[in-house]
């Protein structure tokens, strides 16, 4: 195998705004359960040299998968497959002289090695964040061959680790582009409203070259805004300006401006909104106004097709369902979801809680695991920090205090705030228990939770925990000086089963309705409640849900079934949100 000689750069911001060649469509694939593909030369599309030659491992005439898309739903043999699989295709290119060629992957699950014309150009781990490689020196005029070794095997030191309650989809699950940019181009930018102000815009711009004195322009036509900056010796430029007539983005009242940046031959446009988010006592405020988070969680999945959501049309299914429920916010559980979902939510005016998949079973003593978590956080923030709809970056979900865990998460929180100080940071916890002596719910002592701006609580009263008393009489004393969001609650119910409203194992819609009403009554008495996010919008696939009659490898906690049917609890939650 040849040596690597391409250049790997930091992530190109707003790849979708660059156009480029879409490399989606039919890709050939070869299953490699014993991981022998490197030795068999699967990075190349080998052709027999003469009539006496042949190859046992060959793409020619083989099966195909659609990219983007998971392999699990496209071939019945692959429904449960965890391991190595190679995906490959030919594509034509006509690279322009003096331009850089960037190969961009929006997401590959779970880890991968990418080969172009037989040469390894990049490796990446992390199913839910993008990556890229500069392949200018390797791409050729005419036919090129792209092969990706994909591995969705779970490991104890990966993120997420061995156990997680969703389907372990494998494959090139998000878009792939070949992007052409000038030698000097805008690599990254962060354009936002100055925190605490209503009419001052701040811009940070990073060019692809560390040259001093280069001119960068920023234009917002609707505001009559046109400014120029000069780069420092690192190719970075910063500016701050007051603007007149700025209309701020607000929940369910979105305002996005066309913003264009240009430098030399390069020109890139984006739709950007401006808003301010802060903690005001025990409330989350947007533009100085308290915003109760009428939220819902969902997975990046189209449940009735048992597959990853990957297209703009798929994004519409999920976002429209959240809006119909009456939400003004969504929690992208439990990982950064694709850019189609994030951008559409912003266009519709939905606030976003976005998180990295740092869940249960993490080895918090490992510095290598910390490096992976920090990289995940950096890639999530780097991709999405221009999306004003995102008001909460979430560090973790359902972790328990320990010296190693506390140090790990506090260091990660510090890293996050260094990346973006304009937003609030949160995590979700399941360590709240009823203290009968105090006659109140309390959280176990947790220095990490105390350091956050907003605290999420996952509490499944009536399902995983028995009621200690009448819901209307239960008090909460959980970090009373901070905004508290009930980030998960609910129970499983299979659509179409009715009756036995007081029997949990009935799996009935009536029990789910009863549980929702009891929980909502309890929530009315939480003085620092800043939002509610039921678990979950749709029933979703999970290998851990094995009840043969009622689950069939689906988590049935959805307000909507895996076929999109509204359960009775949907109407209870819809009424609660309409009242709010």
The pLDDT tens digits for 9-64 are 468 999 999 989 999 999 999 999 999 999 999 999 988 788 888 878 889 889 99
> Is residue 429 classed exposed, middle or buried when 0-12, 13-18 and 19+ CB atoms within 10 A define those classes?
buried
Token reading at 562: 């895996």
- Whether 345 and 372 map to the same domain: the answer is yes
Instruction: Tell me, yes or no, whether 512 lies in a domain.
Output: no
- Whether 152 and 267 map to the same domain: the answer is no
Using 50, 70 and 90 to split pLDDT, how confident is the model at 6? very low
Instruction: Tell me, yes or no, whether 168 lies in a domain.
Output: yes
Read off the pLDDT of residues 306-345 as tens digits, 9 standing for 90 and up.
999 999 999 999 999 999 999 999 999 899 999 999 999 9
Residues 403 and 396: beta-carbon distance below 8 Å: no
Give the chain's length: 580
- Whether 85 and 201 map to the same domain: the answer is no
The per-residue pLDDT for 10 is 67
Instruction: Tell me, yes or no, whether 339 lies in a domain.
Output: yes
H or E stretch including 111? Answer: strand 111-116
Write the CA distances from 51 to 46, 47, 54, 55, 127, integer angstroms. Answer: 14, 11, 8, 12, 42
Rg of the chain over all Cα atoms, to the nearest angstrom: 25
The per-residue pLDDT for 219 is 98
- Whether 375 and 442 map to the same domain: the answer is yes
Tokens 């939770």 -> residue: 449
SS3 at position 356? coil
Indicate whether 68 pLDDT > 60: yes
- Whether 152 and 271 map to the same domain: the answer is no
Residues 134 and 12: beta-carbon distance below 8 Å: no
DSSP assignment string, 386-448: T-TTEEEEEEEES----HHHHHHHHHHHHHHHHH-SSSEEEEEE--EEEETTTTEEEE---HH
- Whether 195 and 328 map to the same domain: the answer is no
Instruction: Tell me, yes or no, whether 524 lies in a domain.
Output: no
Token reading at 568: 């009775």
Percent of the chain beyond pLDDT 70? 98
- Whether 92 and 157 map to the same domain: the answer is yes
Q: How large is the average pLDDT for residues 517-539?
A: 97
> Distance (Å, rounded) from C-alpha 231 to C-alpha 261?
14
Instruction: Tell me, yes or no, whether 55 lies in a domain.
Output: yes
Indicate whether 454 pLDDT > 70: yes
Per DSSP, what are the bridge partners of residue 441?
Answer: 434, 476
Read off the pLDDT of residues 241-261 as tens digits, 9 standing for 90 and up.
999 999 999 999 999 999 999
Token reading at 141: 């005029």
H or E stretch including 523? Answer: helix 509-523
SS3 at position 104? strand
> Largest alpha-carbon pair distance within the chain?
84
Domain boundary among 258, 275, 292: 275
Per DSSP, what are the bridge partners of residue 158?
Answer: none
**Which structural domain, as residue segments, surrounds residue 196?**
186-275
Tokens 């260094």 -> residue: 418
- Whether 407 and 370 map to the same domain: the answer is yes
- Whether 137 and 213 map to the same domain: the answer is no
The CATH number assigned to the domain holding 211 equals 2.60.40.10
The CATH number assigned to the domain holding 442 equals 3.20.20.80
Instruction: Tell me, yes or no, whether 310 lies in a domain.
Output: yes
Q: Which residues contact 414 (CB under 8 A, 6 or more apart)?
A: none
Instruction: Tell me, yes or no, whether 388 lies in a domain.
Output: yes
Domain boundary among 182, 207, 242: 182
- Whether 191 and 167 map to the same domain: the answer is no
DSSP assignment string, 164-213: -SS----B--S-EEEEEEESS-EEEEEEEEPTT-SSEEEEEEEESS--SS
> Distance (Å, rounded) from C-alpha 70 to C-alpha 75?
10
Domain boundary among 182, 217, 245: 182
The per-residue pLDDT for 58 is 85
- Whether 239 and 126 map to the same domain: the answer is no
- Whether 271 and 288 map to the same domain: the answer is no
The per-residue pLDDT for 44 is 93
Residues 208 and 235: beta-carbon distance below 8 Å: yes
Read off the pLDDT of residues 97-111 as tens digits, 9 standing for 90 and up.
999 999 999 999 999
**Could you tell me how far CA 307 lies from the centroid of its own chain?**
16
> Distance (Å, rounded) from C-alpha 423 to C-alpha 533?
19
Instruction: Tell me, yes or no, whether 511 lies in a domain.
Output: no
Name the domain count of the chain.
Answer: 3
Virtual torsion, Cα 547, 551, 555, 561, nearest 10 deg? -160
Indicate whether 7 pLDDT > 50: no
Indicate whether 361 pLDDT > 90: no
The CATH number assigned to the domain holding 43 equals 2.60.120.260
């Amino acid at each position: 195998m040849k040596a690597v000689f391409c250049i790997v750069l930091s992530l190109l911001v707003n790849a979708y705004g660059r156009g480029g060649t879409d490399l989606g469509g039919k890709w050939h694939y070869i299953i490699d359960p014993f991981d022998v593909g490197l030795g068999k030369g699967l990075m190349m599309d080998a052709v027999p040299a003469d009539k006496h030659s042949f190859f046992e491992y060959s793409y020619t005439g083989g099966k195909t998968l659609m990219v983007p898309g998971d392999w699990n739903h496209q071939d019945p043999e692959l429904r449960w497959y965890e391991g190595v699989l190679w995906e490959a295709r030919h594509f034509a290119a006509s690279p322009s002289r003096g331009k850089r060629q960037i190969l961009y992957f929006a997401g590959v699950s779970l880890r991968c090695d990418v080969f172009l014309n037989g040469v390894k150009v990049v490796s990446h781990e992390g199913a839910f964040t993008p990556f890229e490689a500069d392949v200018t020196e390797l791409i050729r005029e005419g036919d090129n061959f792209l092969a990706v070794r994909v591995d969705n095997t779970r490991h104890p030191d990966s993120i997420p680790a061995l156990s997680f309650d969703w389907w372990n989809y494998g494959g090139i699950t998000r878009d792939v582009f070949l992007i052409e940019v000038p030698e000097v181009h805008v690599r990254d930018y962060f354009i936002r409203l100055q925190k605490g102000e209503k009419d001052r815009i701040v811009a940070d711009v990073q060019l692809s070259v560390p040259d001093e004195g280069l001119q960068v322009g920023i234009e917002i036509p609707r505001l009559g805004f046109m400014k120029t900056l000069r780069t420092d010796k690192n190719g970075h430029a910063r500016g701050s300006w007051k603007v007149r007539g700025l209309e701020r983005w607000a929940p369910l009242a979105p305002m996005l401006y066309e913003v264009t940046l240009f430098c030399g031959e390069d020109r890139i446009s984006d739709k950007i909104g401006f808003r301010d988010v802060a903690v005001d006592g025990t409330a989350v405020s947007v533009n100085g106004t308290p915003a109760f988070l009428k939220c819902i969680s969902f997975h990046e999945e189209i449940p009735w097709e048992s597959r990853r959501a990957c297209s703009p049309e798929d994004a519409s299914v999920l976002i429209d369902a959240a809006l119909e429920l009456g939400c003004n916010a969504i929690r992208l559980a439990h990982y950064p979801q694709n850019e189609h979902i994030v951008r559409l939510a912003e266009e519709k005016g939905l606030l976003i809680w976005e998180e990295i998949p740092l869940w249960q079973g993490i080895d918090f003593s490992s510095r290598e695991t910390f490096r992976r978590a920090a990289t995940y956080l950096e890639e999530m923030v780097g991709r999405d920090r221009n999306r004003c709809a995102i008001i909460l970056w979430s560090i973790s979900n359902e972790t328990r205090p320990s010296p190693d865990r506390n140090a790990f998460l506090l260091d990660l929180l510090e890293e996050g705030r260094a990346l973006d100080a304009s937003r609030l940071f949160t995590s979700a916890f399941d360590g709240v228990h009823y203290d009968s002596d105090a006659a109140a719910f309390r959280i176990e002592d947790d220095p990490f939770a105390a350091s956050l701006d907003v605290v999420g609580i996952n509490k499944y009263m009536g399902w995983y925990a028995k009621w200690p008393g009448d819901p209307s009489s239960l008090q909460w004393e959980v970090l009373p000086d901070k905004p508290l969001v009930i980030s998960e609650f609910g129970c499983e119910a299979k659509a179409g089963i009715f009756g036995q409203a007081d029997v949990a194992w009935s799996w009935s819609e009536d029990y789910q309705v009863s549980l929702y009403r009891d929980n909502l009554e309890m929530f009315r008495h939480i003085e620092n409640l800043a939002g509610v996010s039921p678990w979950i919008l749709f029933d979703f696939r999970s290998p851990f849900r094995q009840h043969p009659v009622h689950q069939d490898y689906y988590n049935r906690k959805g307000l909507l079934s895996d076929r999109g049917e509204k359960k009775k609890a949907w109407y209870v939650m819809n009424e609660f949100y309409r009242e709010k």
